[in-house]
Amino acid sequence: MRRFEGYGVLITGAARGIGEATARRLTAEGARVLVADVDAESAAKTAGTLEGAESFRCDVRERAEAEAAVAYAVERFGSLDVLVNNAYACDPDASLFEDESDEVWAENLDTTLTGAFRCARAALPHLAASGRGAIVNIGSVNAEQSFGNHAYSAAKAGLASLTRTLAGHAAARGVRVNQINPGTVRTSAWSGREASLDAVSRVYPLGRVGEPEDIASAVAFLASADAAWITGTTLRVDGGLTAVNTAFSQAEREVRAQASTPAPAPARE
């Protein structure tokens, strides 16, 4: 199935992880994809493995670079039909909230939220001109529940709000805007922490953490004509994490198991 034949696509943060998997999925379905990333060397390496892909060095914290990436995609592909805002920054929390720094907060929001704003602002006229334009923002379950990372979580929650307001604005111009909220996904961000991934997988109702391809499949759906009547929505792709309280259910099962266990016979002397 080649749903994206003739499409021009720009993906930020596409050198690895979810962005790379999305580039692979969309090129496999016929798209020409601009692999944009602040890591130019890795972006070029990824693009070099994909038919119909090119790379572009882009730091979404810089307006000029976001606009240059959009302009390059339009020039090379003849149109821009899909924008995937995937670039993000996520720094560990300080031990105490009062020790959180302005610099970490600002960088996380600037990359994750304002970077998506910059790219969408530059891309919107071209997406409208294509007649089939779509924006897919990569959010996080952190936007909905507490999983740590104050600044990153706030940025992803802001991105969900931007998704809704931009969807309302862009609808009249024929552009759809949606968001995907992944749960834990096995990417290079977890390198060296495989034991943590194994532990985390036990709280997922579907019994595993996500793979980048799980998210890429959802992006392909929302970006395609199959989702032609969907805009302003946030799609959870999280293995059931935010729908099912696994820890509560497990505790309840343990209580029931204990209640059904016969009491031991009294000791006899």
Burial of 232 (0-12, 13-18, 19+ CB in 10 A): middle
Q: Which residues contact 194 (CB under 8 A, 6 or more apart)?
A: none
- Distance (Å, whole) CA 215 – CA 101: 31
Look-up of token digits 């090129």: 27
Picking from 92, 88, 95, 147, the residue whose alpha carbon sits closest to that of residue 119 is: 88
User: What's the sign of the alpha-carbon dihedral 51, 52, 56, 58?
Assistant: negative
Look-up of token digits 């050198």: 15
Which tokens is 44 given?
């070029």
CA 17 from chain center: how many Å? 10
Distances (CA, A) of 267 to 10, 165, 263: 74, 70, 12
Active site residues: 152, 156
- Distance (Å, whole) CA 101 – CA 47: 36
- Distance (Å, whole) CA 11 – CA 6: 16
